[in-house]
Structure 1
């Protein structure tokens, strides 16, 4: 497995600057493409699964986090409050208090449940300098977060559906988890966890049911729970063997109580909803780190910053190459041109070894009907001369399919 910190900088995906500060990476153009495509993918997957998206501010009053319990149990990991007149404002360490307020702002009937609310939003953690590294531990986090407000009878089904959505996303992204963990509170805890044994027993029993019904092997780990409840964590390991959590599913009885959330039941009375927290790809930063390490920078074609590189052999073929470039971009394929000013053809091909598709245009291709290009695939296959329209159509189809295959099927005479 590759180290994303080294490879991410070599591939011009991200970098840092001392004036911005430790744990605050910035995204370069190619990295921004990967991030944007990943964000659009997860939003689309959530919309298909019945989620509604919201936006909420990254600041909140200190009182908000006192109500949620973050101030009592999590303040050491939060940035200090900022005085604003008579109020104290805090950079949020999570999105769930804001989503609880959004739910509370309108009345809800049992007929509306489950109510699935999602957001790709910023949050901030005051991580110590010694634990910061690359994209896996940062201070400014873009989190793929969602909260499902549902009845008790719906909680297991909703949590299981979230776990299934995580599995689907991993298949599309071509990444593999190291293990699943049922994260439980540790003995004592020293005030780290909400003191409500009944809450913990109920939530733990429901999550065990989710894992057992899903058939996912898992291990219990004490001392790894959220302060308000147990959670299912999907764990990944970096090249040094250090584990980090990417995706989570949690069942929460605590915050609905703290924020006095309710819905109107069929009996006309108020009832307390269950709050299911879930994150499909976790933070965008950590997800990209794992993608880099899993694929070594050779992203699936639909995620690749550049999907097609057009290579005119000499200046004489530049006009033909530019026509192919324009066609590709019109069809939504991310394409770039690398002309002879960038070196010999062999050097340009080697430099673009991670680009899924290369289209070489020489004298013969430029003069032929149908504007063909000699196609080279990243995996070493050479389908040969393919007309421009067909080439772009095939690339667009493979990108839309989000599969691992670069070409529909090996062609006769292709390189293995």
Structure 2
């Protein structure tokens, strides 16, 4: 079996007990099993903390909106084929729609309060659900789904701030990729193509494209300009990834948008006391949670960075005589916030093989128990000299807390 098949997240994700599907739930609607829910939760918490440290404020907004909302935003005219049909409420003729995007909601949140130039840039972030009516033939695993949990944010800023905010968003993406061990295949400047899919405003496209080129050039990032891949309302920077089969997809994006601030009549009060139109910078650090987890599964083959791993510490007593110490160590590990399990059934060799994806495997034999020490095997095959259990927990907790890809660091 080749590596492409071995690391296909659709197979490996099910084998590892991360997610699955059921015909009664429907195509493109996977559910998360306990181990997969751990990975998802850790990823979401990481993104929230990363965004908070970068000055973002988090919000929650409904997954439904009136049809009129998406008519104003332009989604209904330019993106309607990818939206679920409206649902009629009661007898009054009011129609609501499952949202295909979070940006109209964030525009309304911005509009709900008056803003001064002193408040800008205002960075609003959300890990929120959105829904797209994908064709059945396009659906697959976690990469193409109909219910999407999106890591999204919108920065409302002055024109003079837009380039720096977009550049900072790219730097945030690069940091997240380093912590997650994700490799970007290339950066793409996605431009409009022909047709009614795109907003007909040449000046808008020229302004936004020039700013995004300035962002990329100023960041020293090589990129390919590709026509026909823009959002309907403006160009975007796409961070591309490749799966083991060589298929390319977009994971993260940065966009500069002049269209929706105009459509929603957004404004701020400038230093001159007059109203001015803000620029709306859209950005997503890890894209959809579903696609990000699929990429993590395929890139790491299920051997997640220690801070993301469903089980971080496997404690393996050599015999029944060491089980008490094993359970005690696992309890102390869990008290420190680590995800630890005791594996006592079967031969030691079989248990080690079963725990091959666990970052830290701790073996307790008679010699270690008598000396108050533990023997540590790292997932990458390295062995650490026996050390006191308290020191082990201190080191593992430190590495997990660092949220990087390194498994071990010398004291």
TM-score of the pair, normalised by structure 2: 0.97
In the alignment, the residues of structure 2 paired with residue 104 and residue 162 of structure 1 have an alpha-carbon distance, to the nearest angstrom, of: 23
In the alignment, the residues of structure 1 paired with residue 407 and residue 282 of structure 2 have an alpha-carbon distance, to the nearest angstrom, of: 36
In the alignment, the residues of structure 2 paired with residue 125 and residue 339 of structure 1 have an alpha-carbon distance, to the nearest angstrom, of: 46
Whether 1:316 and 2:318 are equivalent positions in the alignment is no
- Counterpart of 1:344 in structure 2 is 347
- Counterpart of 1:173 in structure 2 is 180
Q: 1:61 aligns with which of 51, 63, 66?
A: 66
Whether 1:291 and 2:296 are equivalent positions in the alignment is yes
Aligned residues: 404
In the alignment, the residues of structure 1 paired with residue 403 and residue 60 of structure 2 have an alpha-carbon distance, to the nearest angstrom, of: 28
In the alignment, the residues of structure 2 paired with residue 223 and residue 406 of structure 1 have an alpha-carbon distance, to the nearest angstrom, of: 42
Gaps (5+ residues) in structure 1?
Answer: 412-416
- Counterpart of 2:383 in structure 1 is 382
Contact 2:192 2:198 in 1 (8 A): yes
Q: 1:50 aligns with which of 55, 74, 89?
A: 55
- Counterpart of 1:244 in structure 2 is 249
Determine helix, strand or coil for the equivalent of 1:224.
coil
Shift of 1:378: 0.7
Whether 1:17 and 2:3 are equivalent positions in the alignment is no
- What's the CA shift string for 1:303-357, capped at 9, x where partnerless? 11111001112222111111001110011111111112xx111000001111110
Q: 1:326 aligns with which of 307, 327, 331?
A: 331
In the alignment, the residues of structure 2 paired with residue 171 and residue 239 of structure 1 have an alpha-carbon distance, to the nearest angstrom, of: 19
Whether 1:357 and 2:364 are equivalent positions in the alignment is no
In the alignment, the residues of structure 2 paired with residue 93 and residue 207 of structure 1 have an alpha-carbon distance, to the nearest angstrom, of: 24
Contact 2:19 2:36 in 1 (8 A): yes
Of stretches 372-381 and 400-409 in structure 1, the one that deviates more from structure 2 is: 400-409
Whether 1:268 and 2:273 are equivalent positions in the alignment is yes
In the alignment, the residues of structure 2 paired with residue 44 and residue 246 of structure 1 have an alpha-carbon distance, to the nearest angstrom, of: 19
In the alignment, the residues of structure 1 paired with residue 292 and residue 266 of structure 2 have an alpha-carbon distance, to the nearest angstrom, of: 32
- Counterpart of 2:100 in structure 1 is 93
Determine helix, strand or coil for the equivalent of 1:148.
strand
In the alignment, the residues of structure 2 paired with residue 276 and residue 351 of structure 1 have an alpha-carbon distance, to the nearest angstrom, of: 46
In the alignment, the residues of structure 2 paired with residue 87 and residue 201 of structure 1 have an alpha-carbon distance, to the nearest angstrom, of: 38
In the alignment, the residues of structure 1 paired with residue 407 and residue 266 of structure 2 have an alpha-carbon distance, to the nearest angstrom, of: 49
Shift of 1:404: 2.4
In the alignment, the residues of structure 2 paired with residue 398 and residue 198 of structure 1 have an alpha-carbon distance, to the nearest angstrom, of: 50
Shift of 1:239: 2.2
Determine helix, strand or coil for the equivalent of 1:141.
strand
Shift of 1:123: 0.2
Shift of 1:228: 0.3
Cα root mean square deviation, aligned = 1.0
Determine helix, strand or coil for the equivalent of 1:239.
coil
Contact 2:399 2:408 in 1 (8 A): yes
Determine helix, strand or coil for the equivalent of 1:164.
helix
In the alignment, the residues of structure 1 paired with residue 382 and residue 163 of structure 2 have an alpha-carbon distance, to the nearest angstrom, of: 47
Q: Which 4+ residue blocks in structure 1 deviate beyond 4 angstroms?
A: none
Whether 1:257 and 2:258 are equivalent positions in the alignment is no
- Counterpart of 2:117 in structure 1 is 110
Contact 2:243 2:299 in 1 (8 A): no
- What's the CA shift string for 1:30-51, capped at 9, x where partnerless? 1111111110111001001000
Shift of 1:13: 0.8
Gaps (5+ residues) in structure 2?
Answer: none
- What's the CA shift string for 1:188-225, capped at 9, x where partnerless? x1x10101111000000000000000011100110000
- Counterpart of 1:206 in structure 2 is 211
Determine helix, strand or coil for the equivalent of 2:44.
helix
Shift of 1:405: 2.1
In the alignment, the residues of structure 1 paired with residue 286 and residue 228 of structure 2 have an alpha-carbon distance, to the nearest angstrom, of: 23
Q: 1:335 aligns with which of 336, 340, 348?
A: 340
- Counterpart of 1:402 in structure 2 is 403
- Counterpart of 2:230 in structure 1 is 225
In the alignment, the residues of structure 2 paired with residue 121 and residue 111 of structure 1 have an alpha-carbon distance, to the nearest angstrom, of: 28
- Counterpart of 2:134 in structure 1 is 127
Contact 1:59 1:91 in 2 (8 A): yes
Shift of 1:165: 0.5
Of stretches 243-252 and 398-407 in structure 1, the one that deviates more from structure 2 is: 398-407
In the alignment, the residues of structure 1 paired with residue 30 and residue 67 of structure 2 have an alpha-carbon distance, to the nearest angstrom, of: 27
Whether 1:138 and 2:145 are equivalent positions in the alignment is yes
Q: 2:46 aligns with which of 23, 30, 41?
A: 41
Shift of 1:372: 1.8
Contact 1:376 1:384 in 2 (8 A): no
Contact 1:356 1:406 in 2 (8 A): yes
- Counterpart of 1:414 in structure 2 is none
